[in-house]
Amino acid sequence: MSNERPSYTVLYHISTGCPSGYTTYGGACFKAYDQDKTYSQAREVCAADGALLAMPKGKDVDNFVRELKNAVNKISHFWFGLNDGNNEGEWVWEDGTPHDISTDWNRWQPGEPNGNDGENCANYYGSGWNDAPCSSAYKFICQLNEAISCSLGHFRCGHGLACILSWKRCDGIADCTDRSDEEGC
């Protein structure tokens, strides 16, 4: 009989936190890009990281994102993930949730949003939020959230921030804001 003990290999999963260049805050990762892009181009850069344009839905997150952008450039406009491109005056966050400008927390500049000249996309300007033409080229901030898990019978959208009923996948209607439910159909 041998006194040798069996050997075991213990595997650990070490979370690396946020990807390179991203900063963690409130369970999400944020990155301010010092590149000028249109709103659509900024979305594409964020999507390549698996992220969305930042969504400062509350005062604390807004203050953090503002500090992050100011560390890159205090005076430049920065896109964040809020627009009313589908219906004028109906503001929607990048994750698809509505933003009611009269009841939800916000930091709109006085007189904003005003919708002048097709101003459908939100950006940081001065001490608050402003709407501007989505075709303007501004710097931008991306937000990467921890992916959520979906219950049985649901499909997780590609950005990992929402679940839809499985039967809505490949039905010809994009239910996920990243349109992942209609890809590969």
Please state the pTM of the whole predicted model: 0.72
Instruction: Please report, as a single letter, which amino acid is at residue 56.
Output: P
CATH 3.10.100.10 in the chain is located at 23-144
Cβ contacts of residue 173 below 8 Å, gap of 6+? Answer: 182
CATH 4.10.400.10 in the chain is located at 148-185
pLDDT given at position 12: 33
Q: How far from each other are the two terminal CA atoms of the chain, in whole angstroms? A: 61
Domain 148-185 top-level CATH class: few secondary structures
23-144: CATH number:
3.10.100.10
- Mean pLDDT for the stretch of residues 99-109: 90
| pLDDT per residue as tens digits for the range 54-92 | 999 999 999 999 999 999 999 999 999 999 999 999 999
| pLDDT per residue as tens digits for the range 129-145 | 999 999 999 999 999 98
CB < 8 Å & 24+ apart, contacts of 156-164: 157/181, 158/183, 159/47, 159/50, 159/51, 159/52, 159/95, 160/50, 161/52, 161/95, 162/95, 162/96
Beta strands in 38-171 (DSSP E): 52-53, 78-83, 91-93, 98-99, 119-125, 128-133, 138-145, 154-156, 163-165
